[in-house]
Amino acid sequence: MASHIVGYPRMGPKRELKFALESFWDGKSSAEDLKKVAADLRSSIWKQMADAGIKYIPSNTFSYYDQVLDATATLGAVPPRYGWTGGEIGFDTYFSMARGNASVPAMEMTKWFDTNYHFIVPELGPEVKFSYASHKAVEEYKEAKALGVETVPVLIGPVSYLLLSKPAKGVDKNFVLLSLLNKILPIYKEVVSDLKAAGASWIQFDEPTLVMDLGSDKLKAFSDAYSELESTLSGLNVLVETYFADIPDEAYKTLTALKGVTAYGFDLVRGTKTFDLIKGGFPKGKFLFAGVVDGRNIWANDLATSVNILEELAGIVGKDNLVVSTSCSLLHTAVDLVNETKLDNEIKSWLAFAAQKLVEVNALAKALAGNKDTAFFAANAAAHASRKSSPRVTNEAVQKAAAALKGSDHRRATNVSTRLDAQQKKLNLPILPTTTIGSFPQTVELRRVRREYKANKISEDEYVKAIKEEINKVVKLQEELDIDVLVHGEPERNDMVEYFGEQLSGFAFTVNGWVQSYGSRCVKPPIIYGDVSRPKPMTVFWSTTAQSMTSRPMKGMLTGPVTILNWSFVRVDQPRFETCYQIALAIKDEVEDLEKAGINVIQIDEAALREGLPLRKSEQAFYLDWAVHSFRITNVGVQDTTQIHTHMCYSNFNDIIQSIIDMDADVITIENSRSDEKLLSVFREGVKYGAGIGPGVYDIHSPRIPSTEEIADRINKMLAVLEKNVLWVNPDCGLKTRKYTEVNPALKNMVAAAKLLRKELASAK
């Protein structure tokens, strides 16, 4: 019985790649230094999988930034603005596409399906001249082979690559991206031929778009693509991998009929209905890669249940044709539980990070082959029994409060236009008010202060004094820049979700449970293991401290319940919506305490609301109903004069705009600039939005500083479709990842652009 891993985390157990990337970008180390760190990480990962007994070990899943960007580099699909003239794509071009540079912006970044991972969206059109411009897949296969490790090279499948792309700027938005299939397939043939020549016996194509609701034209593209590749694939075992959801019936029929394909991979954790399709018929003699170990959560696998599932599958496809696998890449989980020195033993026994999941996969494969590790299985059963019976999981008062929410839709008593009038009388803001999203740069000194406080190296008084000084600096800077609604900069927070989770009951935290979000950006998701409540106020002290330093409105900064949920590792013993309602009640308490303390503007970020949208349309209405309801619960009790903001970033919002309106926030700030202002197309098409709205005027994930004229041009485009009295001016997102040398001039130009347009609007009256 064989075992397989779809993909593995790349940052390293101590974020080695993150620090190497940032050192390289800052000019403190060379390209060779970066490549050395990357090679050491790859070698360690391959050896770890081999030592764990994994038979089908992936290669080409390592990336310096993003696997979709790697595919773009392989295909030579570099947008003209980066000045690439051909040849092997190097770091300069690669990182310019990912991050932008001093003269041109980065490519769009958006969420990878319904995860918190971000990918760089390919920009394509009929004029793109594809060429084989990165040999990374072959080089990494050879690198592993030289180390004595046979791997399965992984490529983003050709159809999914095109379906995840967008028409480049200037290309008709109705351009059919799949029309480029015949232009990219020759490059895929070259890559496959090189892999065969290097000795590869297996190859994995990731085609995750097969789990989406695809029409017959898109499904036909899969049949056409693999028919075209069939002769090149001859002599190879070919795995087509799907993940993140059930595969629809028609897509299953298409997939299992693809020519040249030997094996099919399915997510059987989030795709439980796929099991029924397999039972209904599976191609004779083909391999089934059964994703029974969860690649997206950190709970230990229920080994006994998984063995039962695998035995039933073996009865359908045959034991020799069944491969035990992860549900998706382990990129979405933390690296190694061994590094967690502060988790208590009970909670630790309930968990499995990527390294432990390798052991689980192999243990299941061995058990199915008749070599069951009885001690390992017994320990696993004991851990599951412990979690079910632990008193720390259940809080009866919280469950009663959440159950009492049923029967009300929790809407504020007056409509948004009435509230905005009341708020304007109190706040007296100018037309096109300026603000930022919340965080300011997290300096080395600031990180040192937080680290030393957590390590008890400085006293609480010293910590509070240092944080107050940082807040004062940020407040004074915003006043000097003449920003209208201020933020305190969040110097006390390392992460917007972790900060709140640390102060809520029902959460546990890791020391090194880092997960890649994009590029070098890593997050440390909290673990929601039990019922959630708020023992005491979380932000009131810092918000009131900041407000006391200025006469301008100071935003109270909170993370919303849906975002806390979607950016955490969530318990699986109750429906997600029940956990979300519990978090909503905790945030509601905080909102009302902020209002009582005199904070008149409160931002409740829902950056991840769109991210959690189910991939299948049939499941989306239910999710949006409880997600939007959860947000409304948080602020239903505030006065009309209290202005509620929310923020969303880096997703495609156009298809959920009515749900965004239904959130009933007074003001929404939303990513706009990096996605070529797609958001504005909703309003051009006639959607009426009566609340305040601030589509981002510049991209904060790039070091590039936009000019006043560029920002003014963006604001003018917004004014063409939005009323001036509802439009706000703000960046795309928080500023924590930027340096002050970038933030200060960018915000100065933003405020100047707003003032310029105020004058123009006043003179046009």
Query: Do residues 42 and 64 make contact, with C-beta atoms less than 8 angstroms apart?
Result: no
pLDDT in tens, 86-107: 999 999 999 999 999 988 989 9
Query: Do residues 133 and 166 make contact, with C-beta atoms less than 8 angstroms apart?
Result: no
- Among 345, 366, 389, residue at a domain's last position: 389
Lowest mean pLDDT among 405-414, 449-458, 708-717: 405-414
- Inside any domain, residue 405: no
Same domain, 477 and 601: yes
Spatial CB neighbours of 500, under 8 Å, sequence gap ≥ 6: 538, 558, 559, 564, 587
Mean pLDDT of 748-765: 94
Alpha-carbon distance of 146 to 140, in angstroms, equals 10
Query: Do residues 112 and 63 make contact, with C-beta atoms less than 8 angstroms apart?
Result: no
> H-type helices in 560-674, by residue range?
561-566, 576-596, 620-635, 657-662
The amino acid occupying position 16 is: E
Structural tokens at position 532: 């959630």
Q: Answer yes or no: is 649 a known binding residue.
A: yes
pLDDT in tens, 417-438: 999 999 999 999 999 999 999 9
Beta bridge partner(s), residue 241: 206, 265
Same domain, 184 and 302: yes
pLDDT in tens, 206-263: 999 999 999 999 999 999 999 999 999 999 999 999 999 999 999 999 999 999 999 9
User: Which helix (H) or strand (E) element contains residue 700?
Assistant: none
**Complete DSSP assignment for 449-495:** HHHHHHTTSS-HHHHHHHHHHHHHHHHHHHHHHT-SBB--B-TT-S-
Same domain, 491 and 366: no
Alpha-carbon distance of 396 to 380, in angstroms, equals 27
Same domain, 382 and 430: no
- Going from the C-alpha of 178 to that of each of 166, 222, 371, 516, 716, the distances in angstroms are 11, 10, 47, 30, 34
Q: Answer yes or no: is 733 a known binding residue.
A: yes
Looking up residue 149, the CATH number of its domain turns out to be 3.20.20.210
Q: Answer yes or no: is 438 a known binding residue.
A: yes
Q: Answer yes or no: is 439 a known binding residue.
A: yes
pLDDT in tens, 118-167: 999 999 999 999 999 999 999 999 999 999 999 999 999 999 999 999 99
Query: Do residues 435 and 483 make contact, with C-beta atoms less than 8 angstroms apart?
Result: yes
Alpha-carbon distance of 675 to 699, in angstroms, equals 9
Q: Answer yes or no: is 522 a known binding residue.
A: yes
Alpha-carbon distance of 577 to 396, in angstroms, equals 17
**Predicted confidence band at 311 (pLDDT cuts at 50, 70, 90)?**
very high
Q: Answer yes or no: is 567 a known binding residue.
A: yes
Alpha-carbon distance of 714 to 729, in angstroms, equals 10
Same domain, 232 and 331: yes
Decide if pLDDT at 650 tops 60. Answer: no
Alpha-carbon distance of 761 to 764, in angstroms, equals 5
| CA angle (479, 480, 483) in 5-degree steps | 50
Alpha-carbon distance of 759 to 765, in angstroms, equals 10
**Predicted confidence band at 675 (pLDDT cuts at 50, 70, 90)?**
low
Mean pLDDT of 367-374: 96
Catalytic residue among 4, 118, 410, 701: 701
Structural tokens at position 204: 């994995």
Same domain, 368 and 430: no
Decide if pLDDT at 684 tops 90. Answer: no
- Inside any domain, residue 531: no
Please say if 135 is a catalytic residue.
Answer: no
Q: Answer yes or no: is 671 a known binding residue.
A: yes
Structural domains of the chain, count: 2
Reduced to 3 states, what is the DSSP secondary structure of residue 759? helix
φ/ψ of residue 555, rounded to 5: -75, 135
Query: Do residues 677 and 651 make contact, with C-beta atoms less than 8 angstroms apart?
Result: no
Spatial CB neighbours of 622, under 8 Å, sequence gap ≥ 6: none
Q: Tokens 């997510």, residue?
A: 267
Query: CA quadruple 736, 738, 740, 746: dihedral positive or negative?
Result: negative
Query: Do residues 750 and 697 make contact, with C-beta atoms less than 8 angstroms apart?
Result: yes
- Among 389, 404, 433, residue at a domain's last position: 389
Alpha-carbon distance of 281 to 96, in angstroms, equals 47
Nearest to 383 by CA among 360, 399, 354: 360
- Inside any domain, residue 383: yes
Mean pLDDT of 625-642: 97
Same domain, 296 and 436: no
Mean pLDDT of 468-491: 97
Q: Mean pLDDT over all residues of the chain?
A: 95
664: left (phi over 0), alpha (psi -120 to 50) or beta: left
- Among 335, 367, 389, residue at a domain's last position: 389
Same domain, 543 and 661: yes
- Inside any domain, residue 410: no
Alpha-carbon distance of 624 to 644, in angstroms, equals 20
Q: Tokens 């069951």, residue?
A: 372
Q: What is the pLDDT of residue 173?
A: 87
Same domain, 360 and 237: yes
φ/ψ of residue 711, rounded to 5: -65, -40
Q: What is the span of the domain harbouring residue 148?
A: 2-389
**Complete DSSP assignment for 382-447:** HHHHHHHH-TTS--HHHHHHHHTTTT-----SS-HHHHHHHHHHHH-PPSS-BB--SB----HHHH
Lowest mean pLDDT among 440-444, 537-541, 626-630: 440-444
Q: What is the pLDDT of residue 670?
A: 87
- Inside any domain, residue 401: no
| CA angle (409, 111, 614) in 5-degree steps | 45
Alpha-carbon distance of 280 to 275, in angstroms, equals 9
Nearest to 432 by CA among 761, 764, 763, 765: 761
Length of the chain: 765
Q: What is the pLDDT of residue 674?
A: 63
- Inside any domain, residue 512: no
- Inside any domain, residue 521: no
User: Which helix (H) or strand (E) element contains residue 511?
Assistant: none
- Inside any domain, residue 510: no
Same domain, 99 and 214: yes
Structural tokens at position 408: 């009300």
Q: Answer yes or no: is 18 a known binding residue.
A: yes
Structural tokens at position 314: 């073996």
Question: What is the largest distance, in Å, between two alpha-carbon atoms of the chain?
Answer: 83
Q: Answer yes or no: is 470 a known binding residue.
A: no
Same domain, 631 and 725: yes
Query: Do residues 242 and 263 make contact, with C-beta atoms less than 8 angstroms apart?
Result: no
Q: Is 592 exposed, middle or buried (0-12, 13-18, 19+ CB in 10 A)?
A: middle
Nearest to 702 by CA among 303, 273, 105, 242: 105
Alpha-carbon distance of 287 to 222, in angstroms, equals 19
Same domain, 366 and 454: no
